[in-house]
Amino acid sequence: MSELEQAVKKFDSDPSIGCMILTGSNRAFAAGADIKEMQNKSFSEVCKGNFLSNWTALAESKTPIVAAVNGFALGGGCEIAMMCDIIIAGEKAEFGQPEIVIGTIPGAGGTQRLTRVVGKSKAMEMVLTGNRISAKDAQLYGLVSAVHPVESLVDEAIKLAENITKHSKLTVQLAKEAVNSAYETTLDQGINHERRLFHATFATHDRKEGMSAFVEKRKPNFTDS
Ligand SMILES: CCCCCCC[C@H](O)CC(=O)SCCNC(=O)CCNC(=O)[C@H](O)C(C)(C)COP(=O)([O-])OP(=O)([O-])OC[C@H]1O[C@@H](n2cnc3c(N)ncnc32)[C@H](O)[C@@H]1OP(=O)([O-])[O-]
């Protein structure tokens, strides 16, 4: 997670990067925190050591991140996927929060992000039973946006990322911020924030360029400014 944090921060501050893709292997995206490492830790150790504090970089990235999930996304693995902006899954992917099975509970957003995405009943079922759900069901519940064959998943993620990066990076960041507001605010606050960000696009070159290109029937030349 420390390495992932460093990489995400580095890419997020690189103006030439418009989207990141996070993936694992065909067998597993991530099976969660290392149970063998946690087995003998005490409350005072994890509390004083501020355990999990380096798990926030993904969610704080201004650049969009697509999670391409093949295989298992369990516990911290499911939580990492949910820190990304879009999750697409391979047909054999499985999602779950199995912490209850090993005597603990999700500790990196599994009770919070999952509940906001799939609703209370399904989140409770997953968190209280530890049962896994398939990629197809994850799509049904809105956890993933698309399901693809295992072999083509990363290519599909790249296509999706290219679709995002053809737009103004600056505007994409504002759009991402606006969507994320929906998770943090009341509807009224979110609508006000969205409207202000919309107004802010009128201060950018790319908003003028995008509208001019449409009117002049040509492709826009965005400069991310
Ligand atoms: C750093 C702190 C961060 C804290 C984050 C906290 C937040 C989070 O909410 C808490 C967690 O994620 S709690 C975690 C929540 N996640 C879980 O509870 C998932 C636990 N894992 C499983 O349920 C099963 O292993 C799978 C279904 C992933 C694969 O089943 P399969 O295909 O039958 O294969 P297999 O034979 O079973 O495994 C192959 C080898 O991998 C090994 N290994 C696997 N996962 C491991 C792990 N997390 N750990 C360590 N090792 C793990 C396994 O022991 C075995 O090693 P061996 O030396 O060869 O014996």
Do residues 74 and 185 both lie within one domain? Answer: no
Question: What whole-number distance in Å separates Cα of residue 43 and Cα of residue 101?
Answer: 19
Average pLDDT, the chain: 96
Give the gyration radius of the chain's Cα atoms. 19
**Active-site choice (18, 71, 75, 76):** 76
**Active-site choice (75, 99, 123, 210):** 99
Do residues 153 and 192 both lie within one domain? Answer: no
Q: How far is the CA of 154 from the centre of ligand 1 (A)?
A: 23
Asked whether the predicted pLDDT for residue 61 surpasses 80, the reply is yes
Over residues 210-219, the mean pLDDT reads 98
- Give tens-digit pLDDT for 189-202: 999 999 999 999 99
Do residues 131 and 175 both lie within one domain? Answer: no
Do residues 109 and 126 both lie within one domain? Answer: yes
Check residue 56 and give its pLDDT: 86
Check residue 158 and give its pLDDT: 98
Do residues 153 and 204 both lie within one domain? Answer: no
Do residues 138 and 176 both lie within one domain? Answer: no
Asked whether the predicted pLDDT for residue 136 surpasses 80, the reply is yes
Ligand 1: residue of 3, 35, 43 to mutate (most ligand atoms within 8 A of CB) is 35
89: containing domain: 2-165
Do residues 211 and 142 both lie within one domain? Answer: no
Do residues 53 and 156 both lie within one domain? Answer: yes
Determine how many CB atoms are found less than 10 A away from the CB of residue 102.
Answer: 13
Q: Which of the four pLDDT bands, split at 50, 70 and 90, describes residue 177?
A: very high
**What total number of domains does the chain contain?**
2
Q: How far is the CA of 47 from the centre of ligand 1 (A)?
A: 22
Asked whether the predicted pLDDT for residue 51 surpasses 90, the reply is no
Do residues 88 and 197 both lie within one domain? Answer: no
Q: Which residues line ligand 1 (CB under 6 A)?
A: 31-38, 51-52, 72, 74-76, 79, 98-99, 102, 106-108, 110
Q: Residue 118: inside a domain, yes or no?
A: yes
Asked whether the predicted pLDDT for residue 50 surpasses 90, the reply is no
